[in-house]
Amino acid sequence: MLAQSCFMNGLDRMPSAPATSADESHEVERFLREAERRALRMAEFSTGNRAEALDLVQDAMFGFVQHYAARPAGEWPPLFWRVLDSRINDWHRRQRARGRWLGWFERADDDGEDPIAAVPDLGEQGPLARLADGEASQALELALRALPLRQRQAFLLRLWEGLDVAATAAAMRCSEGSVKTHLFRALGNLRKYLEAYR
């Protein structure tokens, strides 16, 4: 995994002496500082609420430090995103239980759509091409929020976070085939939502 190997290359430049606990804490802090903003945005796309997203990220940080910070640094990225994904899933379950889940967010992944119809036409410039940056950002955020949870997570972890298929599958606790399916559908749905954006 390139992301992990880059991170490990950084560690390789460190002195060969055994790391002290202070060094380890510094490395963990650096890792969390690198990831926290994207983690917040990821949680925010799912909750639609910054305060709740901050709570989820804080929970994820606590869980990661408590359970996984002692693991080798190369294993941290999928583990951290796995903890956050778990927190986001829990949040969704709670919301469903409370009946506050909006109907149009609740689209099931297997909604009977023809997957071939979602294949993008690579000859087009793409749905964001006609939008200015501010407008495109808003359109993208709305489109991401409209995606089913698993599709959104596959898109964000795989393409934004840069995890490979295996690491994304580990983070989402599903098979690599499921990751590919979720990502394929996410790209198709995002394109559809963005094209419909006015």
User: Which stretch in 85-93, 106-114, 124-132, 173-181 sits in contact with another protein by CB under 8 A?
Assistant: 124-132
Please report how close the Cβ of residue 118 comes to another protein at its closest, in angstroms: 13
Choose, by CB under 8 A, the member of 40, 68, 145, 180 that binds another protein: 40
Chain positions 42 to 101 lying near another protein, rule: CB under 8 A, are 50, 54, 57-58, 61-62, 64-66, 69, 77
| Cβ-proximal residues to 77 (8 Å cutoff; 6+ apart), any chain | 1, 3, 4, 7, 35, 161, 163, 167
Is residue 53 within 8 Å of 43, Cβ to Cβ? yes
Ramachandran bin of 126, using left for φ above 0, alpha for ψ from -120 to 50, beta for the remaining angles: left
Pick from 43, 84, 140, 169 the residue near another protein by CB under 8 A.
Answer: 140
- Binding residue (CB under 8 A) for another protein from 2, 102, 108, 117: 2
Which letter, b or e, does each residue of 50-68 get, where b requires 16 or more Cβ atoms within 10 Å of its Cβ?
eeebbebbebbbebbbeeb
Residue 36 touches another protein, criterion: CB under 8 A = yes
Q: Which of the 8 DSSP states describes residue 27?
A: H
Tokens describing residue 64: 């990661």
Window of 86-94, 101-109, 131-139, 146-154 that interacts with another protein by CB under 8 A: 131-139
Report the first-to-last Cα separation within the chain, whole angstroms: 38
Chain contacts with another protein (rule: CB under 8 A): 1-4, 6-7, 10, 21, 25, 28-29, 32-34, 36-38, 40-41, 50, 54, 57-58, 61-62, 64-66, 69, 77, 120, 122, 125-129, 133, 136-137, 140-141, 156, 158-162, 164, 187, 190-191, 194
